[in-house]
Amino acid sequence: MGWYDISQICLNGHVITDRAKSSPEFMKKYCTKCGEATITSCQHCDTPILGDYQVEGITAISLSKPKAPGFCHECGHPYPWTLRKINIAKELGDELDNLSKEDQDKFKSTLDDLVTDNPRTELAVIRFKKIMSKVGKDSYEAIKSILVDIVSETVRKSIFGN
């Protein structure tokens, strides 16, 4: 039987370690990438953030960089980095000058549905793509770099291609 280790992640979503329990020597109070404070549990319900899955006697060396989960598996609350990125993307929505006010609002309203998997996600994807076809390349790239880490893989593929 295996068990889940605990992840330590900074408030901006940089994963410090996904083995805070078994290798506490990797833990850091502050993020070395951005200087933000780090957390090991949900700020809403205090449940530890799931880390690497450990199996007794087997040391798995994972090649992929651990990804920060978007939502708490216990209470469903978005983690701070998810909220921050959604809010930044919404602010960016107001800067998209070549969009009408209506499209700016539509853009902002798709964001909450893009980061979760719910029945409205598909609709949000279609709306998002329509609006993206109207923004310039720089805005598109900026929006992509904010959203790429917080949307699900399916959404990422259908809105950004890969």
Binding site for Zn ion (CB under 5 A): 10, 12, 14, 31, 33-34, 36, 42, 44-45, 47, 72, 74-75, 77
Q: Which is nearer to Zn ion, 36 or 122 (CB)?
A: 36
**Eight-state DSSP code of residue 25:** G
What does residue 151 show for φ and ψ, rounded to 5 degrees? -85, 160
Q: Which is nearer to Zn ion, 44 or 156 (CB)?
A: 44
- Taking the complex as a whole, the smallest distance from the CB of residue 47 to Zn ion amounts, in Å, to 5
E strands within the chain? 2-6, 8-10, 15-17, 38-39, 50-55
- Taking the complex as a whole, the smallest distance from the CB of residue 137 to Zn ion amounts, in Å, to 27
Q: Which is nearer to Zn ion, 74 or 149 (CB)?
A: 74
Q: Which is nearer to Zn ion, 77 or 120 (CB)?
A: 77
Sign of the C-alpha dihedral computed for residues 144, 148, 150 and 154 taken in this order: positive
- Taking the complex as a whole, the smallest distance from the CB of residue 14 to Zn ion amounts, in Å, to 3
CA atoms of 20 and 40, how far apart (whole Å): 8
- Taking the complex as a whole, the smallest distance from the CB of residue 121 to Zn ion amounts, in Å, to 22
Task: Beginning with the edge strand found earlier in the chain, give each strand of the sheet holding 15-17 in spatial order.
Answer: 15-17, 8-10, 38-39
Q: Which is nearer to Zn ion, 55 or 75 (CB)?
A: 75
What does residue 110 show for φ and ψ, rounded to 5 degrees? -75, -25
